[in-house]
Structure 1
């Protein structure tokens, strides 16, 4: 019979195994405890910085800090010390970072450095109501240590209860810093010469797009349209959970113009465009200061949903990011829409490759391939003209199966995670959901990334995207493709096994709050 010590050791070992069984292989996750929205995304002196909403004392949402990680390639990350801690002005909510190249803030003594603008959240002492104000911090050593500005907060609107998530960029046409920020049901725009003093220039959004939930986490940037020589502005708005909406929190976007003062929507007010049709891509924002010669606009999102974010079965850590994605604009059916694909740097994770061509799939002869690794990238070009619904089934050795399907009759791409493994932690999780998608000349093109905790599906070169968390009962070990009647043809199928990333911790010792001096 084991001793009490041995029993405790076994319990602790099982707990650690359960904690890590859903740890992603190639998506970013925190070292421990709670993670949500990406913040402060900036490229500076050869490194991509990823800050994020972090609660270092619990695996549920709580007093927010800014966690921090850095990468040279958007794939391999290194955990850094916590960047910003709550202080006398409140918790540290979402925000952004920019490079102050010309020292317009006056905080870098003739040099340049990083400026973070973020929301301080506390309670108003007079009214007892929640209060959200905008503040500034700066770093003179490439983001290693941060100092709060002594004049914080730098922007307050006392009449607004919801007033948060500033995203700032330099606008060369007006020679101003522009801040886009959300205020409950609309977006507000401010300008500044020095990043410290801000004046309101315009508003957008009341009655425009979806208002299923509170507006959050805005972003605004300009992108070229295909190879036309023209460009448009893209305004991204995330929408908080509404108990009456089964989708939960999700992200919409608008296409239009920015005149230096406000955003002008190209589409009718009731025209809604979604960034992702899965359940688990929220609060996405893009990196600032990616070099012009690179030319990409890269976004990353929080891979969860406020419906069940506090309940996912991951143990001592909770929350992960989507793959970073490059955004593009394209003309389609007389309108301009956004497309997205994982950044090319992900390809360095590829290991072994298997490929097939011209494989006929019928109800009697499904395609089936056993796998001995559970981190996969799948590219499939499928001719659906002669078949009914086609299913790509990702099966575990247990009872789990994630189904990615396409229904040609209803022109519908979907994910069914109702039997994907652990689903009983919330009634909204075990769902089948998707998006309309028209097959091109009777064919569909799918690009799928499978991780231990998630699946991302990109269709038609990123025209339609679905991102879902999954919690299989055992590692995925089989890829199957089937149809219910007729015949579908796998024009081409490529499956890559992928390397797992290891995210090392920073070796620098850190004392809580010390870097906020």
Structure 2
């Protein structure tokens, strides 16, 4: 069984090693009865450097095993400065990883492979590049995504083009060895998707969600000066090897979500993991000795309007422990609903009788009530507002308010607002019935049982039904053979 960590912010129900840096989920595949989840990993410290692939596997998304590191840079090889992002496919008795080989040029990262024939325990690198040359006009190139469709293998690679457009480039193959370049699957100039962001000058980590003739292209919006920004979903459909995109939208409305990866499960579901990065100053990260985590696995589907809908994977209900809160009532001020531990799963139905901007839920994490996370209903904008400005008494934690569309919140709609909030120590994932999500990090230091309150101000009142369950840790078996956690003699370059 897992042991609760001493660090009060280290999650107990989200995947990550007990220390050091992680970022993008990679190599997602179902093979020989196991879900395989790899990830960008620095085994030597909590900084973005020395990129390897860490590796977990599970038969059921609940009981996990940490396998030896899957991919390690080869001194003097094509990936000498890092094994960067990509994916994996199950093919016969082989797991084949496709990834970005980083050697000297941080913008151009050609595709190479490694394979495993023992269910991911050991891997053999290719030792050469699978696709050695960048297409004409590509100024940034990285992060292959391979899948099988209509009897052929297909690959997307993220890119930036010399003409100022971002692109996902398409390749096809009959045998996973000889790949033919088909041109841009989708390319476009930056387009606004949020008040604080656009679709980027380049695209990282392209993923293709598709079913019944419809699809959504998921990309990380990237800027050469600012680095990774937000994840964007382009709904649309494919025609003659090109993706005809409709209006893009944010995949997740939170500030701390990036580089999601898809897995096609054997039961027909699409599962998705994302990277939740840190929202605290680097000094605190170094003191803690770890950085980043993977979100909960999410079931993703395409709605009739082409939008991507997300919800926690059904298996995660098994992580619910005792029910900590059961509350139904109405308040025109503040109602204390009960207390929970720092990892919990909450469902709520909120019915403002008179909608005001002070209506919602508060998670109080200090005895004196000065440290809290707010979720408020904005009846004018038709949004839920998540406010973390007071969520940590440590000034090194980042604040901010963030919004997720919620048409039911409009005063004129008169509909109840339903939500599910899953919190695991320093990460919060908010899910709405519409499939909209918001992911953020926060770092309470109050150290008391966390108190859930329903609140209504400004002369309004709120009817509520709230249930909350404490979360038990997932189980994790740790394999031997991971590298020592001492600094290597050579220092690799860092990809922004």
**TM-score per shorter chain, which class?**
0.7 to 0.9
Contact 2:46 2:285 in 1 (8 A): no
Q: Look up the match of 1:416.
A: 387
> How do 1:232-243 residues align onto structure 2 when only pairs under 5 Å count?
232-240=214-222
Match of 1:59 in 2: 46
Q: Provide the secondary structure at the position in 2 that maps to 1:86.
A: coil
Q: Does 1:378 align with 2:366?
A: no
Inter-partner Cα distance in structure 1 for 2:373 and 2:152: 48
Q: Tell me the CA shift for residue 373 of structure 1.
A: 2.0
User: Which consecutive residues of structure 2, in runs of 5 or more, have no partner in the other structure?
Assistant: 161-165, 192-197, 489-496
Tell whether the 8 Å contact from 1:155 to 1:197 is kept in structure 2 after alignment. no
For residues 494 and 201 of structure 1, what CA distance do their matches in structure 2 show?
A: 51
Query: What TM-score, normalized by structure 1, do the two folds share?
Result: 0.82
Counterpart position of 1:472: 444
- Equivalent runs, 1:156-305 vs 2, <5 Å: 156-157=133-134, 160-172=138-150, 175-184=151-160, 185-203=166-184, 204-207=186-189, 209=191, 210-212=198-200, 214-223=202-211, 230-240=212-222, 249-259=229-239, 261-265=241-245, 267=246, 271-288=247-264, 290-291=265-266, 294-304=267-277
Q: 1:96 aligns with which of 78, 87, 97?
A: 87
Classify 1:275/1:407 alpha carbon distance in 2 versus 1 (closer, same or farther; 3 Å). Answer: same
- CA-CA distance at 1:136 after TM superposition: 1.0
- Tell me the TM-score normalized by structure 2: 0.85
Correspondence for 1:402: 373
Gaps (5+ residues) in structure 1? 1-16, 102-111, 224-229
Deviation at residue 239 of structure 1 after TM alignment: 1.5
User: d(CA) in 1 for partners of 2:8 and 2:51?
Assistant: 26
User: CA, structure 1 residues 122+150, in 2 after alignment: closer, same or farther (shift >3 Å)?
Assistant: closer
- Tell me the alpha carbon deviations over residues 269-292 of structure 1, each in whole angstroms, 9 at most, x when there is no partner: xx331111011111001114x21x
Q: Is contact 2:454-2:464 (8 Å) kept?
A: no
Two-structure CA RMSD over aligned residues (Å): 2.7
* Structure 2 counterpart of 1:342: 312
Seen in structure 2, the aligned counterparts of structure 1 residues 436 and 372 have a Cα distance that, compared at 3 Å, is: closer
* Secondary structure, counterpart of 2:85 in structure 1: strand
Give the match for residue 387 of structure 1.
355
Counterpart position of 1:143: 120
Alignment deviations for residues 357-376 of structure 1 (CA, whole Å, 9 cap, x no partner): 6511102xx22134252221
Normalized per residue, the structure richer in strand is 2
Please state how far the C-alpha of 1:241 moved relative to its aligned partner: 6.1
**More displaced, 141-150 or 277-286?**
141-150
Q: Secondary structure at the match of 2:108?
A: strand
Whether 2:296 is the aligned partner of 1:323: answer yes
Q: Is 2:101–2:109's contact at 8 Å kept on the other side of the alignment? A: yes
CA distance in 2, matches of 1:295, 1:148: 30
Quick one: structure 1 residues 436 and 244, their matched pair in 2 at CA, closer, same or farther if it must change by over 3 Å?
farther
Q: SS at the partner of 1:183? A: strand
Q: Which residue of 2 aligns with 1:486?
A: 459
Deviates more, 1:315-324 or 1:148-157: 148-157
The change in CA–CA distance for 1:18 and 1:170 in structure 2 (over 3 A counts) is closer
Once residues 354 and 380 of structure 1 are traced to their aligned partners in structure 2, the CA distance between those partners, rounded to angstroms, is 14
- Superimposed CA distance per residue, residues 457-503 of structure 1 (whole angstroms, 9 cap, x where no aligned partner): 112x1532111001101345200110112344435221112212243
Encode CA deviations 1:233-252: one digit per residue, 9 max, x unaligned.
1110112368789xx72111
CA distance in 2, matches of 1:143, 1:80: 8
Specify whether residues 114 and 347 from structure 1 end up closer, same or farther in structure 2 by C-alpha distance, changes over 3 A only: same
Cα deviation, residue 343, structure 1? 0.4
- Match of 2:316, SS state, is helix
1:85 and 2:57 are equivalent in the alignment? no
After superposing the two structures, state which structure 1 stretch, 273-282 or 300-309, moved more. 300-309
8 Å CA contact 1:64, 1:86 repeated in 2 = yes
Q: Distance in 2 between matches of 1:136 and 1:238?
A: 22
Q: Give 1:221 shift.
A: 2.5
Cα drift, residue 218 of structure 1: 0.6
CA–CA separation in structure 2 for the residues paired with 1:46 and 1:237:
29
